[in-house]
Structure 1
Amino acid sequence: METLKAAPVPDGEEPISSAQIVAKVLTEDSSMLNTFLKNAVSSTERELREQLEAERQAKAAFQEQVDALKKKSEIADENLAKTQKQLDETTKTVEENNMLLRRFLTLNGNLP
């Protein structure tokens, strides 16, 4: 600003007024500020987009893990149900065999 005010005035021209100097400096500063802000916003936007993409990828990977664990859990539940059914059948068979054995032993006079 002081450089503009101290600049020599060509012959026949009027010196630049203080208001014109201030307006010119503000316009230049505002232009530089706008450029800076555009670059800052662009950089921030790019970083946010990259962060969003990374979060999406992490979410997708996490969802795959959740799906795999759900499948394993379903398989484990099915196996548990099968095992429980087999145990119930075996218990029933053992009880039936015990009952038959008692009858047999009772008939043979070995049990009271």
Structure 2
Amino acid sequence: MNDGPTETPGTSAPGTSAPATPAPATSAPATEALMWEARAVAGRGAELLAWVRSERLDPAPARRETFTASPDRVLVITWWPAGTRPVDLPDPAPELLHRPVHRWRFTQEPDEE
């Protein structure tokens, strides 16, 4: 049995300042991010934000963030791990919207070294 130090990929050898050995590349399925953006009728941005906050997605995303911007815009970004089926936010009532909702779907790409 060998009780000596071992090197794990992606770490330095114990007690050294040697550069880390790169971890093996994986072809893990990618995360998807959905962006949903709407512009409310003038002066109704707070109402649109309240509507967005009340909308629950089933299943829930791994992460969800909400942003606002002038004039009366709301942006929601959701992150969906591989293997899950992303769920879009629906459209709010037409009388709340200045224009139709915009939607974008992105797939995560690995960073190039």
TM-score, normalised with respect to structure 2: 0.16
Structure ID, larger Rg? 1
| Structure with more relative contact order (C-alpha pairs < 8 Å, separation 6 or more) | 2
More strand by share: 2
